[in-house]
C-alpha cells in the first residue's frame, strides 16, 4: 500500500511541477536555447512568431516545443537545425529552413536519434538537406508536415522523410517534394505510411530497402522519375494508392526487386512509363488494380515466380505485359483486358479462348529498345496478329485462361 501511494505522489508531483515557458521578443526568454536550458522534463515551450537563427538546437529533455504562427527557425545553411536525443518530445507549428549540408553527417531540418514516442507534426520544412530524419527510433509519429526542397542534384540532396533502423513509425498526411526521395525506409519494420502526397522528387516518391511488414495506404505518388522502389523486403502491403505521371526512360509506378509475400491491391496506375516492374519477386498478390494509359502495365521478368495477377483492369495501355524470357511461372486469371478480341458463347462473362497479353512487338523492344520507333506501324500490327495465331516468340504459358468480358467495378 505504501508503495502505491509513493507512485501516486511521484505521478502527481511530475504533473504539478510541469510548467509553461514562453519565448519571444517581449517574453522572459528571447532564445530557444535559453528556454531549453531552463526547462524541466514535461514542460511546454511556446515560441512566438519571429525568426530564430541560433545554430543547432539540441533537445535533451522530454518537452513540448510549440510554435505560434509558424516562427522561423533558420539554419543559415551552416548546420543541422533541430536534433532530438530523448523520448516523448513534441515539435509542432514551425517553419524550419536552410539546414546545412555535410558530406560526412546526414544533417536534417529535424533529426531524431534513438528516440521513442516522439511526435513531429504541422511543420513546414524548406530547403534542408534531409527534411525529417529518424535514426534507430520507435513509436514515433510524423504527421501533417509540408517538406520541400529545390536541389535538383541527386548526390547532394537528402530525403524528405528518412527512416533508418526504426520500427512502429507512423507517417501520415505529409506533402513531400523536391528531395532525392520523398520517403525513404531502410531496415524499418512494422510501420505505416498513409495519406501522403509525394511528388516532383529527384528520384523516388518512396524507397524501401530491407524493410519488412510495412504498409502504405491511400498515398499519391505523382510526377516522380519513379513512383516507388520496393527492394529486398517481404510482408509489404500496398493498398488504395495512386501512381500517376511517373514518366521517364527508366520510370516506374512501382519497381519491385526481390520482394516476396506481399500484396498490391486496389491501386490506380495511370500514365506511367511502366506501371509495375518486377524482378526476382515471388508469392505476390496483384489484385483489383486499375492499369490505365501506361506505356507498359506490367513488366514481369523471368526471374519472378508464384505471383498471382487476378481481377485487374487493363485499359488503354500501349503494352499490357512485357517480359524478358519464355519461361512462365506466374498465374494470370480473371482479369479484364480491353485488347481481348475473344468471344463468350455461353454468356458466363468469361472469354471462351485464353488471352495472351504479351505481344511479339514488346518482345522485340525488350531486346532492341530503338524498335519502339515502329510503334503502331502497319508492319508491327501484321506481325502481332500472325504471332497470336501461330505463337513462336511470345511465352506460350503466359496467358489468362479466364479473361473477363466486362470491366470489373473497383
Query: Pairing between strand 108-113 and 130-135?
Result: parallel
Q: What is the rounded average pLDDT of the residues 215-241?
A: 95
Q: What is the rounded average pLDDT of the residues 176-183?
A: 97
Dump pLDDT digits (tens) for 252-293.
Answer: 999 999 999 999 999 999 999 999 999 999 999 999 999 999
Q: What is the rounded average pLDDT of the residues 211-223?
A: 97
Residue 225 pLDDT class (50, 70, 90 cuts)? confident
Q: For the whole model, what pTM was predicted?
A: 0.89
* Per-residue pLDDT, 26: 87
In angstroms, the CA 257 to CA 248 distance is 19
Q: Classify domain 19-224 at the CATH superfamily level.
A: Single-stranded right-handed beta-helix, Pectin lyase-like (2.160.20.10)
* Per-residue pLDDT, 154: 79
For the chain, the structural domain boundaries read 19-224
* Per-residue pLDDT, 248: 75
Amino acid at each position: 500500500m505504501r508503495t502505491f501511494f509513493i507512485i501516486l505522489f511521484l505521478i502527481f508531483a511530475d504533473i504539478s511541477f510541469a510548467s509553461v515557458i514562453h519565448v519571444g521578443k517581449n517574453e522572459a526568454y528571447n532564445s530557444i536555447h535559453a528556454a531549453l536550458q531552463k526547462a524541466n522534463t514535461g514542460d511546454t515551450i511556446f515560441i512566438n512568431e519571429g525568426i530564430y537563427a541560433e545554430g543547432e538546437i539540441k533537445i535533451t529533455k522530454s518537452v513540448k516545443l510549440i510554435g505560434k504562427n509558424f516562427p522561423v527557425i533558420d539554419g543559415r545553411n551552416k548546420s543541422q537545425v533541430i536534433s532530438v536525443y530523448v523520448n516523448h518530445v513534441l515539435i509542432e507549428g514551425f517553419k524550419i529552413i536552410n539546414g546545412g549540408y555535410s558530406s560526412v553527417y546526414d544533417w536534417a531540418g529535424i533529426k531524431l536519434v534513438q528516440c521513442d514516442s516522439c511526435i513531429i507534426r504541422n511543420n513546414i520544412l524548406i530547403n534542408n538537406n534531409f527534411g525529417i530524419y529518424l535514426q534507430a527510433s520507435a513509436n514515433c509519429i510524423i504527421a501533417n508536415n509540408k517538406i520541400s526542397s529545390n536541389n535538383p542534384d541527386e548526390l547532394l540532396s537528402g530525403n524528405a522523410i528518412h527512416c533508418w533502423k526504426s520500427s512502429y513509425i507512423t507517417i501520415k498526411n505529409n506533402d513531400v517534394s523536391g528531395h532525392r526521395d520523398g520517403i525513404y525506409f531502410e531496415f524499418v519494420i512494422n510501420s505505416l505510411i498513409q495519406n501522403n502526397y509525394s511528388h516532383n522528387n529527384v528520384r523516388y516518391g518512396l524507397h524501401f530497402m530491407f524493410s519488412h511488414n510495412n504498409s502504405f495506404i491511400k498515398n499519391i505518388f505523382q510526377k516522380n522519375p519513379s513512383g516507388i522502389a520496393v527492394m529486398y523486403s517481404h510482408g509489404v502491403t500496398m493498398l488504395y494508392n495512386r501512381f500517376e505521371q511517373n514518366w521517364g526512360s527508366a520510370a516506374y509506378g512501382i519497381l519491385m526487386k526481390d520482394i516476396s509475400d506481399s500484396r498490391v491491391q486496389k491501386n490506380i496506375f495511370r500514365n506511367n512509363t511502366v506501371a509495375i516492374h518486377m524482378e526476382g519477386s515471388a508469392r505476390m498478390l496483384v489484385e483489383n488494380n486499375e492499369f490505365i494509359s501506361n506505356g507498359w502495365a506490367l513488366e514481369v521478368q523471368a526471374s519472378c515466380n508464384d505471383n498471382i495477377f487476378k481481377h485487374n483492369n487493363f485499359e488503354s495501355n500501349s503494352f499490357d505485359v512485357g517480359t524478358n524470357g519464355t519461361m512462365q511461372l506466374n498465374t494470370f486469371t480473371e482479369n479484364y483486358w480491353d485488347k481481348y478480341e475473344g468471344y463468350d458463347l455461353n454468356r458466363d462473362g468469361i472469354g471462351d479462348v485464353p488471352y495472351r497479353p504479351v505481344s511479339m512487338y514488346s518482345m522485340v523492344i525488350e531486346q532492341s529498345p530503338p524498335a519502339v520507333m515502329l510503334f503502331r506501324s502497319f508492319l508491327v500490327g501484321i506481325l502481332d496478329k500472325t504471332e497470336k495465331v501461330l505463337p513462336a516468340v511470345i511465352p506460350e504459358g503466359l496467358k489468362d485462361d479466364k479473361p473477363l468480358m466486362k470491366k470489373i467495378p473497383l
